[in-house]
Structure 1
Amino acid sequence: MQDSKHTLIGVVGGTGKLGEALARRWIKAGHPVMIGSRTADKAMTTAAALNQETDAVVTSGSNADVAEKADLIVITVPFSAQAETLNDICNEVQGKIVVDTTVPLMPPKVMRVQLPAEGCAALKAQKILGEGVRLVSAFHSVAAHRLATDDDIACDIMVFGDDKAAREQVVTLANDAGLRGIHAGALVNSVAAEALTSILIFVNKTYSVDGAGIQFTGDLTL
C-alpha cells in the first residue's frame, strides 16, 4: 500500500468550507493536496491562499483535473450537487479510493432526517460511480468552521466502507486531521452518520452549542 504521506489527496469541492478546512489540516500534517472546483480559477485562488498560509505547494484544477491526477479523491459538495459532481468525474476515479462526505440535508428542514431513495448518500454515490471505485464514507459529524481553526477537536469520525484497506487509509486521514477515525463497518451503515448530522444540527441550535460532535466511550484501540 502506498505511504499515505506520498498519496496525493484531491479535494473535489475544495473551495467550500468543509473541503478547504480538511485540505488545510492535511497540508499541515504533511500530505500533498490538490484543490478542485467546478471553476479552475476559483480552485487556484483557494490553493494560493493555502500556499501562503502553510508555506506548502498546493496545486489546483477543475474537479475533473483533480479526479484524474490525484491518488485519493475526497468529495466535499452539498447533497444538491452530489449527483452532478460524481457523474462529471466518474470515468477519472475508476480504480481509486473515493471518500464521500455528503450528507443528505434538504433545506429548509435540515434538522429533520431526510434520506434519499437509495437509502443514504453513500449508497447513491456507489450507484453512480460503480463497483470499480473503492468508496468510503466519512467526515459527516464534524463542524467545518471548527476544522478551519488550529484548535483541538474532541470528535470521533465514523468511517464506512466495504473495502477494509481503503477504510483503514481514511481512518488514518481522519487521525491526521486531528480527529479520531473509527471503523464503523460496511458502506450501508453510513445511513447512521448521515442521519445523525441532522440531529447534531438540532442539538446545536437547541442547546446553543458551537459545533457539537460525537465521541465513543471505551478503549477502541485495535
Structure 2
Amino acid sequence: MKTNNPRKIAILGGTGKEGKGLAFRWALAGHTIIIGSRSPEKAAIAADEIIKLTGEEISISGTDNISAAKDADVIVLTVPFSFHKEMLESIKNYVQGKVFIDVTVPIVPPKVTRVQMPPEGSAAQQALSILGENVKIAAAFQNISYENLLSGNNVDCDVLVTGTDKETRTEVIRLVKDTGLFGLDAGPIENSVCIEGMTSILIGINKQFNVQASGIRITGIPRE
C-alpha cells in the first residue's frame, strides 16, 4: 500500500543487509530513498539492486553518507556499532531538527549473544548524547531480521519504538506501518536499552533452533 505522506529517507550504512531491507520496503511504499555509504559507488550499486528486487518504478539513489544526510528529512542509521560514534559525529551538523531513527545494536563480537551496553545506556542514548536534543531521535527495527524485510511477505514480528518524545514516536510508528509491520510505542528513549538488548537474545535463540529470523510479538492487544 502506498503512503499518503511520502518522505525523503536517507539510510546511512544502507549498503548493509538491514539497510537494504528497509530501503526495499519503504521504496515500495512510495517514499524517496537515498542510500548512504562511505563509498558512493557501492551506494549506487545497492540502489540498483533494490530497483531489480522491487520490479517497480521507485525513487531511489545512492551517494555518500553526508550528502544523503543533508538531502533527506528522515535519517536512518544502520551501521555496525563499531562505526556508530564515528558516524554520529560526522553527520551531527546535517541532522539537526530532523527525525533520526537509530537501528544500531551494541553487539560486540565475538560474544554476540551477550547483552553489552555502552556507558550511555544504549546506542540510541549514545546518539542523543552526541547529536543533541534538537534531533528527534527514535530507536526501532532492532529485532527485525533483514531476511524478513527482504522477503516482501507479511512478517510475524512487531516493532517496538522508543524515542525522545511522543510526537517523534508517533511519526516513526507511521513509517513502521509503511514497511508493512506493526509498530508499538515503547516509551522514552531510556527504554531502548531493553529493545536493543533483546537482539543479542534473539541471536542466541536463532542459534539454538538453527533459524535466521526469530522475532518478538506483543500479545493481548487490539490490532488493526
Matched, 1:59 2:57: no
Structure 2: where are the runs of 5+ without partners?
A: none
Cα distance in 2 for residues equivalent to 1:33 and 1:220: 32
Q: Give the corresponding residue for 2:36.
A: 36
Deviates more, 1:113-122 or 1:53-62: 53-62
Question: What CA distance in whole angstroms lies between the structure 1 residues aligned with 2:145 and 2:32?
Answer: 23
1:17 has 2:4 as partner? no
Instruction: Write the mapping of 1:130-209 to structure 2, written as runs, cut at 5 A.
Output: 130-209=132-211
Aligned equivalent of 2:122: 120
Task: Say if 1:4 and 1:31, in contact at 8 Å, map to a contact too.
Answer: no
Alpha-carbon distance in 2 for matches of 1:182, 1:220 = 11
CA distance in 2 between partners of 1:54 and 1:15 (Å): 20
- Tell me, what secondary structure is at the counterpart of 2:35? strand
Cross-structure match for 2:79: 77
Deviation of the 1:55 alpha carbon:
2.4
Deviations 1:19-49 (A, max 9, x none): 0110001111111111111111111111122
Within 5 Å, which residues of 2 pair with 1:72-111?
72-111=74-113
Q: In the alignment, is the contact (CA less than 8 A) between 2:9 and 2:34 conserved in 1?
A: yes
Matched to 2:94, the amino acid is: E
Amino acid at match of 2:24: R
CA distance in 2, matches of 1:197, 1:20: 19
Pairs aligned (count): 220
Give the partner amino acid of 2:38: R
Structure 1 residue 219: deviation in Å? Answer: 2.1
Name whichever of 73-82 and 170-179 sits farther off: 170-179
Secondary structure of 1:147 counterpart: helix
Residues of 2 paired with 1:49 and 1:92: CA distance?
Answer: 27
How many Å apart are 1:207 and its aligned residue? 2.0
What is the CA–CA distance in structure 2 between the aligned matches of 1:57 and 1:31, rounded to whole Å? 7
Structure 1: gaps spanning 5 or more residues = none
Between the aligned partners of 1:64 and 1:29, the Cα distance in structure 2 is 24
Higher mean alpha-carbon deviation, 73-82 vs 147-156, is at 147-156
Moved more, 108-117 or 173-182: 173-182
Secondary structure at the aligned position of 2:187 is classed as: coil
**TM-score scaled by length of structure 2:** 0.94
Q: Partners of 2:82 and 2:180 in 1: how far apart?
A: 28
Is 2:21–2:149's contact at 8 Å kept on the other side of the alignment?
yes
SS at match of 1:5: coil
Match of 2:46 in 1: 46
Structure 1 position 218, deviation (Å) = 1.5
Mapped partners of 1:217, 1:184: distance in 2: 14
TM-score (norm 1): 0.95
How much has 1:221 moved relative to structure 2? 5.2
2-structure distance, mates of 1:116, 1:103: 10
